[in-house]
A and B are shown apart, each in its own frame.
Chain A
Amino acid sequence: MNHLRWLMREWRGGELALLLVSLVLAVTIVSGVAGFADRLQRGIVGESHKFLAADLVLKTPRTLPDSALDKLPSVVERALVVEFRSMVVAANAMELASIKAVSDSYPLRGELTVSETPFGAAQTTLEVPASGRAWLDSRLFPLLGLEVGDELQLGELTLIAERALLTEPDRGTSFYGMGPRVLINAADVARSGVVQAGSLVDYRYLFAGTEEQLQAVKTSLQPELTASERWQGLDDSQPQIAKTLQRAERFLLLAGSFGVALAGVAVALAARRYSQRHLDTVAVMKALGAGSRQVTSLYVGNILLLAILATLLGWVLGLGVQNALFAMIRDLVGFSPPAGTLRPLLAGAITALLCVVSFALPPVLRLRSVPPLRVLRRDLGNESLSSGVSAFAGIGGLFLLMLWYTGSIELVLAVLVGVSAILGLAGILVLRLFSAMRGWAQGAGGVLKLALSAMVRRRQANAFQVVSLALALMVLLCIIAARSSLMKEWQLQLPADTPNHFLINIAPEQVGPVNDWFERQGIDSAGVFPMVRGRLVTIDGRDVQEIPEIEANRGSVNREINLSWSDELPGDNRLTAGQWWPDASASLPRVSVEDEFAERLGIAVGTKLGFRIGGLPLEAEVTSLRSLSWDSMRPNFFLLFEPGVLDSYPSSSITSFYLDATDKVLLNDLLRQFPTITLIEMDAVIRQARTVVEQVSAALELVLVLIIGCALLVGVANIQASLDSRLHENAILRTLGASRQLIRTCLLAEFAMIGLVAGLLAGVGAELCLYLIQTRLLDMSASWHPLFWVVSPLGAAFVVAVSGWWFCREVIVAPPLQVLRRL
């Protein structure tokens, strides 16, 4: 028999529509969301590489020998950045500036923004200053009393101030990124004569290319490198953003795989219903002489044809979804999406196949064994559909799907643990409940008795329904909770008024005037903190240079550390060990240490630390460890002393504050009044970070909408699954004289109970899953969701009751005869 004709006939039965929709949705999610996530991810990574102005950077205090550079693959793009501090001199003024000299190919990623006049309209450019030209921070023009076109002096070199420099992609990455910027051509460095052997200069070699090319660069240069050289990738330059992206990517994959899981459940439900409705058909066909091979071929052919159709439709929709998603966030992403790859489409097709094989085929294949005797005895052959095999195949398929899709066994295990927990719990609970209900039904009267006994009668179908609904709900809860805790964390990281400027080197006598200035300008500073710079030299009497255990963390002690003091524990710090200035008087001065710093160096409460401050020794005892949030952009200190201990050492102060981009011109006034103070501008970095967070959040929102669509589909499939028996039963009840009111109440009560139980189970399952997801996957601390336990059951009861009633409303309004004839 012709398969296509058979499919067309079967299509009219209506059961295949839901199956097709579910399959299409699965393909759409994979090819759409995965494709979108993939493109967004690549886009954002590309965007984030602009923070480096390259894909890979080698940071070194010296120039590399040409011989080493010549060996590099020529396809790799290269640029050189040299940074140092130097005085720049104009006719009537001079200023300590941060000089950045760049080769012509700079920047390899991202672009510069400049303006033709100081503080003027921004325009982007891929050029760099020609030899003999300089681009200056806008502030430098008034500070030096310069106009565009005027001359300024850098060492022996005369430069023409050509343009104002507004932003550089990699501004935040440099240690010397403080003070006003002067951008010149790398060719001019030697001619200025400013850079001598021994001067503090930071060289950065920029590379861009494919991952393999970059790897080749690393391998090729490795023999040249000493301990003072360092590779920088995305992870090093923007740890916060890298982490954000990583989590966002994981979240998208998680949401996507949950979506596929939901679509799989819908496929399973739809296939089950399809098979159920074809028991009689198959029995008749067999009685008429169809062999089981013929039956298998017809039905499997049907499903496979459907899968092909679904794949084609899903591809079209998936591409549509990708583009729609990009269109919706076009303003946010600020880059045109990179071209899509074939991988998501292939993934969609494989998903359809896997869904069909593990969810749709098991119940359909069992049609093969329907006994032909069913034509004489209707009760035969029903049991062939309710079997653990299909559940097993389903879960196995789900496992493979998600594993292949996310590539993270941990993620899949977290989900599966949740799933099997909920399945087990559901099994036990629902069966317990139903046996209890049998008793209640005897005691109850009227409607409740009818509803209860209806539940008991359909307990297998209902248990199945409860479990699949609970699964869909659980997925939804997990996604919503994970999303909101991610967003909350990001928002916490970067509130709108996050301090974006730091002032350091504030002399003690300047603290008052600086505070006055803040007050006059109406700026809230994060508070002025005193600090003394010193070195940590001994830990428990051992010279830090000779402690082998801290070899890897020698960077923490090979430099001057900022030491401060405080009477009270700073607001955003938290004690993790010891006590904050315990009352008992100690023989040594007391110090509190940041806990990660302490861990790196093996410091605990009671450890004695030896410092050298301005040539003088100081011994102190650790009395507490603190954790603190670096993301707050407030001044924070690894080491906080008791007040009074550091009084005799020379100190300066540090503060941070928030300044809107439009108020940046105020900085000129500040720097003119306090020329010795160093200003560190973090606004560009923070702004960029926030944009990324916004982009990613928008993507998450949109994906969430799709997942809700999936959950709804499962709900519909679920209600449809029991529709026939309900319609039949209620039609009979009505012919027996039950009022519409009674049937409506009865239906609502039964559906509400199903929703209630499913919601409760979902709450428990989601809590378990979230615990795993948060602690194992997203590196966040676990949190309870007491609201789940209330909202989920009540919400589910309401939604299921209302939508159940909606789908069954026909039986309430239509004359029972019509319903009976149709069945």
Chain B
Amino acid sequence: MIHAENVSKRVQVADSELCILKGTSLEIKRGESVAIIGPSGSGKSTLLGLLAGLDEPTDGDIWLAGEHLNALDEDGRAALRLKLVGFVFQSFQLLPGLTALENVMLPLELRGDRRAAKVARDYLERVGLAHRLDHYPRQLSGGEQQRVALARAFAPQPDILFADEPTGNLDAETGASVNDLLFSLNAQSGTTLVLVTHEPILARRCARRITLSAGEIVEDSGEVVPA
């Protein structure tokens, strides 16, 4: 489903060049759930962004669902994301001007889905927010906002879900319930899950764990434990 070969990312900082990712390769299969862990600053978010096609690698190649990302421009990658990818972010990233329902409808509408409202309502119900459809993000708690974000991520039924510390901004209890929700939705839809996290508990719920350190993969449970 996802294939990365020798991917590196370097950025220019002041006069010196900073190497964030150093020739990383990995392979993620359909339906797999993968946790990317590692210390802060090790390059987890960078890797996630590259795999999702939000950015371009300095070197190396990435394939997403068989499509060679390097060959696509930003619009091409956007079209691919629209078809295949869902996101959950640490900072929720709901649009403040839209209600919960409209936020969930957004990716469906972007695809031109005529049943957007119905599907969105359905998913909000699944995350337990059927009674908060017309509330704006600022009227919701952090946990509720993240549940809206989950509904938005799953509603278009993506093939791959990328999540960057989905519970990083939440307390342990709320985080746990959001996690439960995430995995149950994931289980229902059989989505490939790529998840960046600090939390060992969350990481352990994934079938496979990739550990990054200073821009390099230092451990990959998926390779140690034969599938």
Q: How far is the CA of A288 from the CA of B103 in the complex (A)?
A: 11
User: Looking at the complex, which of B91-99, B184-192, B216-224 is the stretch in contact with chain A?
Assistant: B91-99
Q: Judge if B207 is at the interface, Cβ distance under 8 Å.
A: no
Q: Judge if A503 is at the interface, Cβ distance under 8 Å.
A: no
Q: Are B55 and A371 in contact (CB under 8 A)?
A: yes
Q: Are B97 and A9 in contact (CB under 8 A)?
A: yes
Q: B110: which of A9, A289, A373, A821 is its contact (CB, 8 Å)?
A: A289
Q: Judge if A439 is at the interface, Cβ distance under 8 Å.
A: no
- Asked, given contacts A373-B49, A821-B138, A822-B138, whether A284 binds B93 with beta carbons under 8 Å apart, the answer is yes
Q: How far is the CA of A293 from the CA of B89 in the complex (A)?
A: 24
Which residues, 146 to 204 on B, are CB-close (under 8 Å) to A? 152, 164
Q: Which residues of A contact B49 (CB under 8 A)?
A: 373, 376
B166 to chain A, nearest CB (A): 13
Which residues, 1 to 39 on A, are CB-close (under 8 Å) to B? 1, 9-10, 12-13
- Asked, given contacts A289-B78, A289-B85, whether A13 binds B54 with beta carbons under 8 Å apart, the answer is no
A383 to chain B, nearest CB (A): 14
- Asked, given contacts A287-B87, A289-B83, whether A1 binds B55 with beta carbons under 8 Å apart, the answer is no
- Asked, given contacts A286-B78, A287-B81, A289-B79, whether A294 binds B110 with beta carbons under 8 Å apart, the answer is yes
A-B contact count (CB 8 A): 79
- Asked, given contacts A1-B109, A13-B96, A375-B89, whether A287 binds B54 with beta carbons under 8 Å apart, the answer is yes
Q: Judge if B48 is at the interface, Cβ distance under 8 Å.
A: yes
Q: Are A291 and B78 in contact (CB under 8 A)?
A: yes
Q: Are A376 and B95 in contact (CB under 8 A)?
A: no
Among A1, A12, A283, A289, max chain B CB count under 10 A is at A289
Q: Judge if B74 is at the interface, Cβ distance under 8 Å.
A: yes
Q: How far is the CA of A290 from the CA of B98 in the complex (A)?
A: 17
Contact indicator per residue, chain B 67-82, by CB within 8 Å of chain A (1) or not (0): 0000000110011111
Q: How far is the CA of A297 from the CA of B98 in the complex (A)?
A: 19
Q: Are A376 and B106 in contact (CB under 8 A)?
A: no
Q: Which residues of B contact A292 (CB under 8 A)?
A: 74-75, 78
Q: Is the interface of B mostly helix, strand, loop or mixed?
A: helix
Q: How far is the CA of A377 from the CA of B91 in the complex (A)?
A: 11
Q: Judge if A510 is at the interface, Cβ distance under 8 Å.
A: no
Q: How far is the CA of A700 from the CA of B80 in the complex (A)?
A: 60
Q: B97: which of A13, A291, A375, A377 is its contact (CB, 8 Å)?
A: A13
Q: Judge if B213 is at the interface, Cβ distance under 8 Å.
A: no
Q: How far is the CA of A290 from the CA of B111 in the complex (A)?
A: 8
Q: B54: which of A290, A291, A294, A376 is its contact (CB, 8 Å)?
A: A376
**Number of contact residues on A: which range applies?**
20 to 34
Q: Are A372 and B97 in contact (CB under 8 A)?
A: no
Q: Which residues of A contact B164 (CB under 8 A)?
A: 376
Q: How far is the CA of A288 from the CA of B112 in the complex (A)?
A: 13
Q: Which residues of B contact A290 (CB under 8 A)?
A: 78, 82, 110
Q: Are A10 and B75 in contact (CB under 8 A)?
A: no
Nearest A residue to B137 via CB reads A821
Q: Are A291 and B138 in contact (CB under 8 A)?
A: no
Nearest B residue to A5 via CB reads B109
A718 to chain B, nearest CB (A): 22
Nearest A residue to B164 via CB reads A376
Q: Judge if B211 is at the interface, Cβ distance under 8 Å.
A: no
Q: Are A1 and B110 in contact (CB under 8 A)?
A: yes
Q: Are A293 and B87 in contact (CB under 8 A)?
A: no
Q: Are A291 and B106 in contact (CB under 8 A)?
A: no
Q: Are A280 and B97 in contact (CB under 8 A)?
A: no
B116 to chain A, nearest CB (A): 9
Q: Are A293 and B106 in contact (CB under 8 A)?
A: no
A12 to chain B, nearest CB (A): 6
Q: Which residues of B contact A794 (CB under 8 A)?
A: none
Q: Judge if B102 is at the interface, Cβ distance under 8 Å.
A: yes
Among A292, A376, A378, A821, max chain B CB count under 10 A is at A376
Q: Which residues of A contact B81 (CB under 8 A)?
A: 287-289, 372
Q: Which residues of A contact B79 (CB under 8 A)?
A: 289, 291
Q: Judge if B24 is at the interface, Cβ distance under 8 Å.
A: no
Q: Which residues of B contact A285 (CB under 8 A)?
A: 106, 110
Nearest A residue to B95 via CB reads A281
Q: How far is the CA of A291 from the CA of B81 in the complex (A)?
A: 10
Contact indicator per residue, chain A 296-316, by CB within 8 Å of chain B (1) or not (0): 000000000000000000000
Q: How far is the CA of A294 from the CA of B81 in the complex (A)?
A: 14
Q: How far is the CA of A373 from the CA of B55 in the complex (A)?
A: 6
Q: Which residues of A contact B48 (CB under 8 A)?
A: 376
Q: How far is the CA of A201 from the CA of B197 in the complex (A)?
A: 107
Q: Are A9 and B78 in contact (CB under 8 A)?
A: no
Nearest B residue to A281 via CB reads B95
Extra contacts, 12 of them, besides A1-B109, A287-B52, A373-B49 (Cβ < 8 A), are A1-B112, A9-B97, A280-B93, A281-B95, A287-B54, A287-B81, A289-B78, A289-B79, A289-B111, A373-B55, A375-B87, A376-B164
A-B pairs with beta carbons under 8 Å apart, 21 shown = A1-B110, A9-B97, A13-B97, A280-B93, A280-B95, A283-B93, A285-B106, A286-B74, A287-B52, A288-B81, A289-B80, A291-B82, A292-B74, A292-B75, A292-B78, A375-B87, A376-B48, A376-B49, A376-B54, A377-B45, A822-B138
Which A residues have a C-beta under 8 Å from some C-beta of B?
1, 9-10, 12-13, 280-281, 283-294, 371-373, 375-378, 821-822
